[in-house]
Chain A
């Protein structure tokens, strides 16, 4: 009888619970939406702090699992040959795979190092330990956080080009919004900085997917061609000028009154990111208008 009453009570109270929890979620959502471009959410930092060791371990485990299955595959393909050759081949293949992986990693790290030398900005190398657990967005989590000097809005790059910017930092991990996100953006120029006037901004577009970004606001009077390189201008206050963004893969020419429609393939392989570098870059502070413009009424006067 008591259990029946409890069930009844639960059934009666369920709508109240529903309304309360929906309200809570809605408020959290509203607060997050308001602060999404500025401060980072404390809840995000906490969960990232707790989840990063798990993600770190799974990242290593996934590498081991891939290696394991690769070995199984190698053994299976060598089964047609005799036992001795099979062992020899599999051992050699494993060695070769390891060597190739090491070589590829070496090349990636070298390109990061050379990038560091080119742009003369200190950087922190980091490993991608997780990707967005939801299907709707494209953020990545890296294994370096505030203890390594990383802060919000710092640019993240690879040897190929820009990757995105840091949006949340916990002590030992950071979340990075990829340049292909609709909310991301970067000031860019088609061609070499200082030589070309084809200035605009790049950002992601949902219908284009992860592999392509679009460039907007490039004057239709500027000459833009397929395979032209796109570089950052530094005007966005996040990315330093002169970094590679990617190359033009499609142009619909504009007119004097209409901008070009340009699609760009990012230089960084955003689908296969493993190592990245976080540039410890602070954009130069812009002077406030009231201090520089003589005709603006200054506060307090």
Chain B
């Protein structure tokens, strides 16, 4: 994925995460940065997925009451697990993204809670209930967001590929005309 596009998507996802709770509190259960991380990891972009996961996690942690680094840790590990799975199994099918997103949400939440417990800072909300809500919200909205990102990026890249093919064909034909 081009770095500029990646940065734009990352900034938008973090901005949504930081602001949507004020619009309607239940929207906090959607983990937008995690959806972006899952998307990048599914593209088998290991380096990008890991760095984006760390950055997004650290920024959201710094704005929340969480320990700084806990979100970065959980998201980085989740990103790697998904990247690893994507390199072993073909997860290109859009339907397969739903269980992947659900698994990523649960894994991220569990690592986040466990790392807080490890340092003696248990979360202030019921864990199972919160993970359940987060699982539902992130999976449902995340599936749509993944489709949206895919359609924007994939459409443009396919357009670019088509243009490149046309250009190549055009060059070949002009080359053959010159030779004649």
Contacts and interface: CB of A to CB of B under 8 A. Distances in A.
Contact of B69 (A17, A27, A47, A48): A27
A139 to B, nearest CB: 4
B60 A32 contact: no
Nearest to A129: B22
Contact of B25 (A13, A131, A183, A204): A131
A138 B63 contact: no
B23 A62 contact: yes
Interface size class of B (residues with CB under 8 A): 35 or more
Given A11-B46, A29-B119, A58-B23, A48 B73 contact: no
B126 A33 contact: no
Given A41-B62, A43-B68, A58-B22, A136 B54 contact: no
A32 B120 CA distance: 12
Contacts of A138: 65, 124-125
A26 B58 CA distance: 11
Given A14-B47, A14-B80, A25-B54, A131 B116 contact: no
Interface size class of A (residues with CB under 8 A): 35 or more
A134 B76 contact: no
Interface SS majority for chain B: helix
Interface in A123-166: 129-139, 141
B140 to A, nearest CB: 15
Nearest to B113: A136
Contact of A29 (B67, B113, B126): B67
A22 interface: yes
A135 B120 contact: no
Interface in B91-129: 112-113, 115-116, 119-127
Interface stretch (B12-20, B143-151, B154-162): B12-20
B125 A135 contact: yes
Contacts of A61: 23
Contacts of A99: none
A141 B25 CA distance: 14
Nearest to B80: A18
A133 B121 contact: no
B87 interface: yes
A28 B63 contact: no
Interface SS majority for chain A: helix
Interface in B64-83: 64-73, 76-77, 80, 83
Interface stretch (A107-115, A174-182, A224-232, A255-263): A174-182
Given A44-B62, A47-B63, A130-B63, A209 B77 contact: no
B106 to A, nearest CB: 13
Contacts of B50: 14, 17-18, 21
Nearest to A180: B124
Contacts of B64: 132-134, 136-137, 139
Which residue of B51, B71, B73, B122 has the most chain A CB atoms within 10 A of its CB atom? Answer: B73
Nearest to A136: B123
Which residue of A11, A17, A182 has the most chain B CB atoms within 10 A of its CB atom? Answer: A17
Nearest first, the 3 A-B pairs at minimum CB distance are: A137-B65, A29-B69, A58-B19
25 contacts: A11-B46, A11-B87, A13-B46, A14-B80, A17-B46, A21-B51, A24-B54, A25-B54, A25-B58, A28-B68, A28-B72, A29-B119, A30-B119, A41-B68, A44-B68, A66-B23, A130-B63, A132-B21, A136-B65, A136-B124, A137-B123, A139-B64, A181-B65, A207-B126, A209-B125
Given A11-B46, A61-B23, 12 more contacts: A14-B83, A22-B77, A29-B67, A29-B68, A30-B69, A41-B68, A130-B21, A134-B65, A136-B124, A137-B65, A206-B127, A209-B126
